[in-house]
Amino acid sequence: MLLQELRTAVLEANLELVKRGLVLYTFGNASGIDREQGLVVIKPSGVDYDDLRPEHMVVTDLNGKIVDGRLKPSSDLDTHTLLYREFPGIGAVVHTHSEYATSFAQAGLPIPPLGTTHADYFCGPIPVTPSLTDEAIGGRYVHETGLAIVNHFRQQGIDPLAVPAVLVAGHAPFCWGKDPHAAAHNAVVLEAVARMAYRTLTLAPGHPGVSRALLDCHYFRKHGTRATYGQTS
Amino acid sequence: MLLQELRTAVLEANLELVKRGLVLYTFGNASGIDREQGLVVIKPSGVDYDDLRPEHMVVTDLNGKIVDGRLKPSSDLDTHTLLYREFPGIGAVVHTHSEYATSFAQAGLPIPPLGTTHADYFCGPIPVTPSLTDEAIGGRYVHETGLAIVNHFRQQGIDPLAVPAVLVAGHAPFCWGKDPHAAAHNAVVLEAVARMAYRTLTLAPGHPGVSRALLDCHYFRKHGTRATYGQTS
Amino acid sequence: MLLQELRTAVLEANLELVKRGLVLYTFGNASGIDREQGLVVIKPSGVDYDDLRPEHMVVTDLNGKIVDGRLKPSSDLDTHTLLYREFPGIGAVVHTHSEYATSFAQAGLPIPPLGTTHADYFCGPIPVTPSLTDEAIGGRYVHETGLAIVNHFRQQGIDPLAVPAVLVAGHAPFCWGKDPHAAAHNAVVLEAVARMAYRTLTLAPGHPGVSRALLDCHYFRKHGTRATYGQTS
Amino acid sequence: MLLQELRTAVLEANLELVKRGLVLYTFGNASGIDREQGLVVIKPSGVDYDDLRPEHMVVTDLNGKIVDGRLKPSSDLDTHTLLYREFPGIGAVVHTHSEYATSFAQAGLPIPPLGTTHADYFCGPIPVTPSLTDEAIGGRYVHETGLAIVNHFRQQGIDPLAVPAVLVAGHAPFCWGKDPHAAAHNAVVLEAVARMAYRTLTLAPGHPGVSRALLDCHYFRKHGTRATYGQTS
């Protein structure tokens, strides 16, 4: 079977989302990419998570053309492939309607960095895209969603590796990472960060977020060449 | 046993409500209809969910007359039968006091379409009925509840197939669908939508909801002849 | 063993509170009374729920004098016994720090009847006592807590059988019922009602509650001689 | 193995935090001290809780020098050791990002004593430290975190044994106690207290908290020589 290992990793990422309470029914999808072969592995559309097996994963090229698989790929495929084409440093994409992050996306509000939990994972606010125009919605909607993400990061000068998550206005979050496990982990942490931001902002409306110094300090404790957290360095 | 298959489907819908955390103790009830025979199958009143078996379901005609069953039907039967008579396109009705949807019903507020999760299932706001008059409450209360729902949909020009849910003011939601499974599924999604709407509206009071274009786009991805979601099309 | 059946019922009520998420660690206590013998059975103080057995229950008379049992009774005993003496129609008392009801108690706010879930169980607002004076707190504090409840019901003309719950200001709820099972059931429903009231009031601040007609209608569907709910009438 | 009993107690405290829902992934850490030997036992950094065994715990002296253990200690070690040096009456320290307490820390707000649940454990508000300066953040950040706690308690005249918890601004809570079990217990109760304070303050903004008399009364029911709660006195 093509890309056996990546299929398993993508399946596990999808199941991690279920286990952590981020998806209801078949909502949500994860994918991963083999950069050498230029192939994307993604969850099929609308299949019960209980029934998912590695062989159900769909393999496409970077333009979304199916290379292997008998099931239809996730309906959000075109957003995933666009992110892979435009963010060459990422290895996996996760999309959920996790409820607190989605509430910020629905409100059209970014999640400011309010504390070190945020700062450990996201080196700046979680941005929210502008709303899609009616033309974009009526056109290649799923592709336009990806375009809105990429354009927003470019225009705001945000590094997708330093801020591996975005809120699509009126929709829900997309997250990414170096592999499916990391992307799912980021999605789970994003939801925890969103829960705490919701409560912080309802206690202290208009809170500006922590200082740049604290943000940098925490992010670089966990990431980069001077990381001090965990057993691997 | 009469209507064996529908009894089982109605029982499963009731149990799905429990599994998803929508009911406390014996609150809530689901029913289904066999349109050919004009017979309704409904949960009995006040029986523990653990003890429910297909043979406990109560079968009535469209006027609520018991045709089969030794237990008393759900006390909300008259609302169910009225909805079946007036909304000929529906095949099942579910009533719960799921907590977030009920909170909107208690507040007398509709749930505006704030994002694509809503738009995937409900093609417009979840409406809230006007309050019942004291006369209606003192009269055939359960029947009047159904009447308030039906009149509100007619007066507002809402298609019950495009918006398969309503909030009864000061009470709780009713949902419906083509069969008991779909009606329970709609009730579960409604509660998730209500949770996110609660948080969105407390973050961004007075949010007007997403654009008509986004609402239509998402609804028709999952419904109708051009649906692109899932494996069945 | 004295009062074997009541001991078991009191233990089961205590465990129901744990099962429904109303107590943390050893917080909370339930008791029941044998009116013929004038004996109260109550949970011991500070014992892990996992270890509780019927023989650990403490039996006291109506003045709190221990008649049977080697463990210390719940530190709230004097509130329980005072309620039994002053509310002769009740058969059991339950005290928890269930979190939403406690939040209203801490805020010093009654829970208004905002919908039919409330109206099915409580025929009016859940009242909140006035704060205890420093003298009362420094004196027989647990006794004074019961006195504040009883005095408030008398002064406000509230029937404890129609409204089987109270919020003690700055403390937490007490509930009661005809037997330990009913009192625990009321405590569980009170917490659900409080959760929904919290969300309703944050969505619609200052909501006045449902009409008197709806309140009466629902209460008498479940209680009294014209009850239509359940299988037992 | 050195300090076998304390290692086990520290491991159990860490697992209690997981069981009670206070930690996500590997967030959070607990430690304990053997005052006679002047040795600290602390969780290793970034190891899955499922894999933790007593022999994985790291033993250090009071300055954080590793005495026994092959894994890296928790990255928050320097805060723990500073607290042990400066608060000689404490026997264990627990740090979590439990979500409601962290939301208050992020908001920069203390948790006022709003009811008896709080007063049973914390004899006054849960204080929040001032924000760290950019210099402190850029310096020995983890040490400076401990210093901010200790200085705040000194300047405010707060007894760490009467108020065994603090919120570090923009970060999260630290709790302590006489042993690892008590410190974890305090962390669990703090989170429950924070949940209720959040709801109380959103229902009744600006609530000043309970009277001094109630605060003292409840605290001394559970602590000190006149305690009346539980079976041990």
Q: Compute the distance between CA of residue D129 and CA of residue D171 in angstroms, rounded to an integer.
A: 10
Taking the alpha carbons of B87, B90, B91, B97 in that order, is the dihedral positive or negative? negative
Q: Answer yes or no: are the C-beta atoms of C149 and C165 closer than 8 Å.
A: no
pLDDT at C230: 77
CA distances from D149 to D87, D126, D173 (A): 11, 12, 10
Burial class (CB in 10 A: 0-12, 13-18, 19+), A6: buried
Rounded CA separation B33/B88 (Å): 10
For residue B148, which of B137, B138, B159 has the smallest C-alpha distance? B137
A28-45 per-residue burial string, b: 16 or more CB within 10 A, e: under 16: bbbbbbeeeeebbbbbbb
Residue D78's H or E segment, with its range, is helix D77-86
Question: Is B167:B105 a contact under the CB 8 Å cutoff?
Answer: yes
H-helix or E-strand spanning residue D167: strand D165-167
Cβ of residue B139 closer than 8 Å to a chain C Cβ: no
Distance from CA of A95 to the nearest CA of D (A): 20
DSSP designation for D139: S
Residue type, B132: L
Q: Which of residues 203-232 of A touch B (CB under 8 A)?
A: none
- The pLDDT of residue A232 is 57
* CATH code 3.40.225.10 for B4-220: yes
Q: What is the pLDDT of residues C88-116, one digit of tens each?
A: 999 999 999 999 999 999 999 999 999 99
DSSP string, A100-134: HHHHHHHHT--B---SHHHHHH-SS-B-BPPPPPH
Among chain B residues, CA nearest to C16:
B25
Summarize pLDDT for D191-209 with one digit per residue, the tens: 999 999 999 999 999 898 9
Distance from CA of B214 to the nearest CA of A (A): 6
As a whole number of angstroms, the distance between CA B204 and CA A104 comes to 9
Question: For residue A132, what pLDDT is reported?
Answer: 93
Across the interface, which of C72, C107, C141 has its CB nearest the CB of D217?
A: C141
Q: Which residues in chain C are closer than 8 Å to B138, comparing Cβ atoms?
A: 213, 217
| 233 residues of chain B, pLDDT tens digit each | 789 999 999 999 999 999 999 999 988 999 999 999 999 999 999 899 999 999 999 999 999 999 999 999 999 999 999 999 999 999 999 999 999 999 999 999 999 999 999 999 999 999 999 999 999 998 999 999 999 999 999 999 999 999 999 999 999 999 999 999 999 999 999 999 999 999 999 999 989 898 888 888 777 777 776 677 777 54
pLDDT digits (tens, 9 = 90+) for A57-76: 999 999 999 999 999 999 99
Average pLDDT over every residue of A112-138: 95
Catalytic residue IDs of A: 120, 229
- Which residue in the list D76, D100, D120, D121 is annotated as catalytic? D120
Nearest CA in chain B to A23: B192
Strand C173-177, strand A29-34: pairing: unpaired
Q: Dig out the tokens for B75 from the structure.
A: 């006390």
Beta strand pairing status for A165-167 and B165-167?
unpaired
Contact C231 B105 (CB under 8 A): no
Query: Over 70: is that where the pLDDT of C25 sits?
Result: yes
Tell me if residue A204 falls in helix, strand or coil.
Answer: coil
Looking at chain C, which subunits does it touch, using at least 3 CB pairs closer than 8 Å as the criterion? B, D
Asked whether the beta carbons of residue C196 and residue B45 sit closer than 8 angstroms, the reply is: no
Average pLDDT over residues A7-28: 96
Cβ-nearest to D99 among A114, A195, A228: A195
Pairwise CA distance, residues A190 & A122, whole Å: 9
How large is the average pLDDT for residues D49-65? 96
Model confidence at A46, pLDDT cuts 50, 70, 90, reads: confident
Give the long-range contacts of residues A48-53, CB within 8 A, separation 24 or more. Answer: A49/A14, A49/A15, A49/A18, A49/A23, A52/A11, A52/A14, A52/A15, A53/A11
Residue D152 CB coordination number (10 Å): 17
**How many CB atoms within 10 Å of residue B88?**
9
Q: How many CB pairs under 8 A join C and D?
A: 83
Residue C222 has pLDDT above 80, yes or no: no
Q: What pLDDT sits at residue A216? A: 83
* Nearest-angstrom CA–CA distance, C89 and C177: 9
The Cα–Cα gap between C165 and C176 comes to: 6
Residue C219 vs residue B117, higher pLDDT: B117
pLDDT value of position C233: 44
Q: What is the pTM of this model?
A: 0.96
- Name the pLDDT band for D215 (thresholds 50, 70, 90): confident
Between A232 and C21, the higher pLDDT residue: C21
Q: Record the tokens describing residue A12, joined without a space.
A: 């596990």
Residue D226 — pLDDT band, cuts 50, 70, 90?
low
Distance from CA of B215 to the nearest CA of C (A): 24
Task: Please state the ipTM of this predicted complex.
Answer: 0.94
Q: Which of D86, D111, D85, D88 is nearest to D98 (CA)?
A: D111
For CA atoms B123, B128, B130, B133, the dihedral sign is positive
Bridge pairing between strands B39-42 and B29-34: antiparallel
The CB density around residue A80, as the number of other CB atoms within 10 Å, is: 30
Give residue A233's pLDDT.
43
Q: Which residues of C touch D184 (CB under 8 A)?
A: none
In this prediction, residue D233 carries a pLDDT of 44
Q: Which residues are paired to C93 by β-bridges?
A: C31, C176
**Residue B65: count of CB within 10 angstroms of its CB:** 9
B196/A106 touch (CB, cutoff 8 Å), yes or no: yes
Q: What's the token pair of residue C28? A: 């909370």
d(CA C203, CA B198): 7
Give pLDDT, residue C26: 87
Q: Quick one: pLDDT at residue A22?
A: 97
Looking at beta carbons, which residues of chain C come within 8 Å of B201?
Answer: 203
Q: Which residues of C touch B100 (CB under 8 A)?
A: 199
Q: What is the mean pLDDT of chain D?
A: 94
pLDDT of residue B226: 66
Element (H, E) at A187: helix A180-203
Q: Is the pLDDT of residue A215 over 90?
A: no
Q: Does B22 touch chain A (CB under 8 A)?
A: no
Helix (H) or strand (E) holding D229: none
Rounding to the nearest 10 degrees, give the CA dihedral for residues A103, A168, A131, A27. Answer: -70
Could you report the per-residue pLDDT of A156-202, keeping only the tens digit for each? Answer: 999 999 999 999 999 999 999 999 999 999 999 999 999 999 999 99
**Residues D97-144 pLDDT 10s:** 999 999 999 999 999 999 999 999 999 999 999 999 999 998 999 999
Q: Is C140 on the interface with D (CB under 8 A)?
A: no
Q: How many CA atoms lie within 13 A of A11 on its CB side?
A: 19
DSSP-derived 3-state class of residue A18: helix
CB-nearest partner of B213 from A138, A172, A198: A138
Q: Which C residues, 47 through 86, put their C-beta within 8 Å of a C-beta on chain D?
A: 47, 71-72, 75
pLDDT at position A222: 76
Query: Would you call A72 helix, strand, or coil by DSSP?
Result: coil
> What is the secondary structure of B87-152 as a DSSP string?
-TT--EEEE---HHHHHHHHHT--B---SHHHHHH-SS-B-BPPPPPHHHHHSSHHHHHHHHHHHH
**In this complex, do D189 and C72 lie within 8 Å of one another by their Cβ atoms?**
no
The answer to whether C115 contacts chain B (CB < 8 Å) is: yes
User: Which residues on chain D are in Cβ contact (under 8 Å) with A196?
Assistant: 99, 102-103, 106
Q: Using an 8 Å CB-CB cutoff, list chain A residues near B116.
A: 97, 170-172
Contacts of B217 in chain A (CB under 8 A): 137-138, 141
Q: Is D172 in contact with A211 (Cβ distance < 8 A)?
A: no
The two structure tokens encoding residue B4: 């064996």
User: Both tokens of residue A109?
Assistant: 């509000």
The pLDDT assigned to D54 comes to 96
Asked if B23 has any chain A CB less than 8 Å from its own CB, the reply is no
User: CA of A166 to nearest chain D CA: how many angstroms apart?
Assistant: 21
D51 DSSP assignment: G
Work out the pLDDT band at C187, boundaries 50, 70, 90. Answer: very high
Where b means 16+ CB within 10 Å and e means fewer, B137-173 reads beeebbbbbbbbbbebbeeeebebeebbbbbbbbbbb
Burial class (CB in 10 A: 0-12, 13-18, 19+), C137: buried
Q: Distance between CA atoms of D121 and C225, rounded to whole angstroms? A: 47
Residue D51 neighbours by CB distance under 10 Å: 8
- Encoded tokens for C106: 């801490």
State residue D232's pLDDT score.
57
Residue with tokens 């002047």: D38
> pLDDT-based confidence at A224, cuts 50/70/90?
confident
**Average pLDDT of span A199-219:** 88
Look at phi and psi of residue B3 and say left if phi exceeds 0, alpha if psi is from -120 to 50, else beta: left
Active site residues of C: 120, 229
Neighbours of chain B (3+ CB pairs under 8 A): A, C
Tokens of C21: 């998420």
- CB-based contacts of B183, cutoff 8 Å, min separation 6: B13, B30, B32, B90, B91, B92, B93, B94, B164, B175, B176, B177
d(CA B114, CA A109): 13
Distances (CA, A) of A5 to A12, A68, A175, D138: 11, 15, 21, 42
Instruction: Provide the pLDDT for residue A26.
Output: 87
What count of CB pairs under 8 Å joins A to D?
Answer: 83
Highest mean pLDDT, choosing among A218-232, C88-102, D45-59: C88-102
Neighbors of chain D with 3 or more C-beta pairs under 8 Å: A, C
Cβ contacts of A195 on chain D, cutoff 8 Å? 99
Contacts of B213 in chain A (CB under 8 A): 134, 137-138
Strand ranges inside chain A, DSSP E: 29-34, 39-42, 58-61, 66-68, 92-95, 165-167, 173-177
Residue A52 has a pLDDT of 95
Q: Decide if A75 and B213 are in contact by the 8 Å CB cutoff.
A: no
